[in-house]
Chain A
Amino acid sequence: MAVNYEKLVENLVVPLVVHPEDVEVKKLSEDEDRIVVQVLVHNDDLGRVIGRNGRIANAIRTIAYASASRQHKKITIDIDAF
């Protein structure tokens, strides 16, 4: 079992945005127990992806975190605009 976390995150982010061509998801680092994923979106889409009080961003983080926990890993997701 090897979950592709970039794909998992991308598939959650892309449906939310107006500009899918401007979504970029990159793995910044991965070691034994921690993965860091960076998400960049179009400036106009940032609000939608973050949500009120960061609720959508946190939901995406929680979902990814649950997935990673099955492999005894922790995942950090940075979300920002280009």
Chain B
Amino acid sequence: MAELKRVSFEASTKDEARGVAEERLRIGRRFLRFDFNEKKSMFGFKRHYEVTATVDVDPAEYGQEILERLFRDMEIDAQITREQPSEEELHYNIETDANPVLIGRGGKTLDSIQLYLRNLLNVFVDDRLVVLVDIGGYKAERKRQLEILATKTAKEVAKTGTEARLKPMNAYERRIIHTKLADWRDVFTTSEGEKEERHLVIKPKKR
């Protein structure tokens, strides 16, 4: 798992230390473990603490708890499995009796769940955690469809020599198509338009 955040400093009371740690890490004390090392000053009057505050949360486990509670609150039965394909990657796969609602139009709700969870869990770590959420294999299926679309359109472009403009898509989807066509000899892809309108254009290569 990616490195958990920690901070070390000196404080004169334990309570002060908890406040300082919260401020420095921007993480609530309920998520932190404190180690206090008491130091006496030379004459033994005044004491202070060397403090280390470390995140005391397992992001993978916490992410699972958050999702479980969310679906409970939504009154949706869900099975969640998780995988950790690498140190900084976390995948959650969700199966429910209400998949279409949780995926939303064009995957919008699913994207929101993923964005929320990714932001939440990245608060706890120093490096970047890649958090992916899928529901009912939606993303895998969407990827397959996009790759079919990419291949079909690229063949058309190569044959006719005219560029083709695809519907607006999010960065993740544009990337799937871009990657799929990256090593094609007779077409190339670019993104055009801004924000909601950003879309891929498949163009013929001049020979």
A55 on interface, CB distance cutoff 8 Å? yes
* Structural contact, A7 and B73, CB atoms closer than 8 A: yes
In the complex, the answer to whether B101 meets A63 with C-beta atoms within 8 Å is: no
- Chain B interface secondary structure, helix, strand, loop or mixed? helix
Q: How far is the CA of A60 from the CA of B109 in the complex (A)?
A: 10
Query: How distant is the Cα of A8 from the Cα of B72 in the complex, in angstroms?
Result: 9
A43 within 8 A of B: no
Chain A residues in 8 Å Cβ range of B111? 59
Q: How far does the alpha carbon of A19 sit from the alpha carbon of B23 in the complex, in Å?
A: 11
Report whether B73 and A11 are in contact in the complex, using a CB–CB cutoff of 8 Å.
yes
Residues of A within 8 A of B116 (CB): 12, 56, 59-60, 63
Asked whether, in the complex, the Cβ of A63 is within 8 Å of the Cβ of B112, the reply is yes
| A58 CA to B22 CA, complexed, in Å | 26
Contact, CB under 8 Å: B120 / A16 = yes
Query: Are A19 and B28 neighbours in the complex by a CB distance under 8 Å?
Result: yes
A63 contact set on B, CB distance < 8 A: 70, 109, 112-113, 116
Question: How many A residues face the partner with a CB closer than 8 A?
Answer: 27
- Residue A81 at the B interface, CB < 8 A? no
Residues on B close to A: CB < 8 A?
22, 26-28, 30, 66, 69-70, 73-75, 98, 101-102, 104, 108-109, 111-113, 115-116, 119-120, 123
A residues touching B (Cβ–Cβ < 8 Å)?
1, 3-4, 7-8, 11-12, 15-20, 48, 51, 55-56, 58-60, 62-63, 65-67, 69-70
A–B complex contacts, Cβ < 8 Å, 19 sampled: A7-B73, A8-B74, A11-B70, A17-B28, A18-B28, A19-B28, A20-B28, A48-B26, A48-B123, A55-B115, A55-B119, A56-B119, A62-B109, A63-B70, A63-B109, A66-B74, A66-B101, A66-B104, A66-B109
